[in-house]
Amino acid sequence: MRKQLILSLLFGVSLLVVSCQKDDSVTEPEKIDNNYLLSNEAITMDLISIVNESHSLSSLTTELRNNDPIRLDQVKALNNNSLESMSKMLNKISDKQLLAEKEGVIQIPELSFVEGSNADKKSKVLYAFPPKGNENEWKYIKAFDSDGNVYNLDVHQKPDYSVIIVDVNGKHAFKEVVNRMNKELTSLGIQVERSAVSKRADGLETTVLESISLKNDSEPWIKGAAEIYAISSGIIERDGQVKPQVRIIEMPYLDYQETTYYPNQVMLFWKDYDYQAANIQFFEHDSNYNYKELCKILFDGLFKIISAATGEPIVAMVGEMGSAVIEIIPDAVFTDDDDYVDSYYTIMKNQTYQDRVGANNNATATFKPLFIPNN
């Protein structure tokens, strides 16, 4: 059964804590204040008003059409006019961003553009945003025109009209979350700081991802290109104790399914581990997870797996860790799940894996050893 999860890595989720009562009354989930979370819809409505006020639709669409997603606070067509309404919106966003960061949530509003598929209709521009909840359950995508009229767009088919997309959990937020998660994993002791790892006298032993393609990246059109990331996991021993090592790896090039990419990206630095086996698993980021909570769940869960596997061969223990990365985080924790893409278990040092199909039969990848000499 396909299970959806995690980490990417990353964003705005709250755990529902059930309070225990001494009497027999029915317990209810504790209500958590999520006032720090930004609303895609509220930003969209403010954006429509600002664009109408500044008459900047033409310049805005031109700017977005020629670029990857742009941070809202860096869109020239909106920020060059020194509009008071734009300044107020950005200040309001900034206040919530600061509150969210304290809670372990990263939100960076960005704009992107989808060209309409109908030649007669694409000159009309709508504004839309990714719906809430699990994308597998989306019924339609809500959009607005410049007058505030509502359109219900198909989830899977690109729209006839052109669309400006607002997303607070897109590529810019995801990149920052990867950085924050790796720092958090280091602080928890399940990721060795590479500066603290003594390097070989002659260089580094690594495994690189030479090529990769996906059958399905699980991404609807409203989300644009997929945001794929990897979780690598292996083992070290410190003071006689076996410990997990986990790293989040951004893969910004892996945009579309049924396309082969040749990144030659280093996926495993073997000095990160004390044993010559590690796992590599791929996920597609969708959500605004609380990265601090996710890192803590990984920390607790992987240590339990390793403790239970004491006495087993190291290779078996590494494989069990890979399975645990998928299993230990309950689906119910998330308001929206990242999509599990595929797994490569017990990748061995100095081994080549040519056009290897992943355990989930979704990815086809080639991994090769690469020795990187010192200067």
Residue 5: pLDDT above 90? no
Tokens of 38: 């930004």
Average pLDDT for 161-188: 93
pLDDT, average across residues 202-221: 87
* In contact, 207 and 369? CB cutoff 8 Å: yes
Confidence bin at 321 (pLDDT 50/70/90) = confident
pLDDT at 372: 92
According to DSSP, the residues that pair with 243 across neighbouring strands are 236
Which one is predicted more confidently, 252 or 224? 252
The pLDDT of 248-264, averaged and rounded, is 91
Q: Is pLDDT of 291 > 60?
A: yes
Q: Using pLDDT thresholds of 50, 70 and 90, give the confidence band for residue 17.
A: very low
CB-CB contact of 262 with 42 (8 Å): no
39-52 pLDDT, tens digit each: 999 999 999 999 99
- Per the rule left: phi > 0, alpha: psi between -120 and 50, beta: everything else, 296 is alpha
Whether the predicted pLDDT of 13 surpasses 70: no
- 105-126, pLDDT tens digit by residue? 899 999 999 999 999 999 999 9
Q: In whole angstroms, give the CA distance from residue 129 to residue 168.
A: 9
Question: What count of residues does the chain have?
Answer: 375
Q: Is the dihedral of CA 271, 173, 87, 163 positive or negative?
A: positive
Per residue in 55-67, pLDDT (tens digit) is 999 999 999 998 8
Residue 148: how many CB atoms within 10 A of its CB? Answer: 11
- pTM of the predicted structure, to 2 decimals: 0.80
Mean pLDDT on 6-20: 32
Helices 314-327 and 291-308 cross at an angle (nearest 10°) of 140
* 168-177, 195-204, 301-310: least confidently modelled range: 195-204
Distance CA 318, CA 330 (A): 21
- State whether the Cα torsion 36-98-230-110 is positive or negative: positive
Report pLDDT for 107.
Answer: 94
Ranking 172-186, 226-240, 289-303, 317-331 by mean pLDDT, the lowest is 317-331
pLDDT interval class at 277 (50, 70, 90): very high
Amino acid (1-letter code) at residue 189: G
Q: Which of 29, 85, 46 is nearest to 333 (CA)?
A: 29
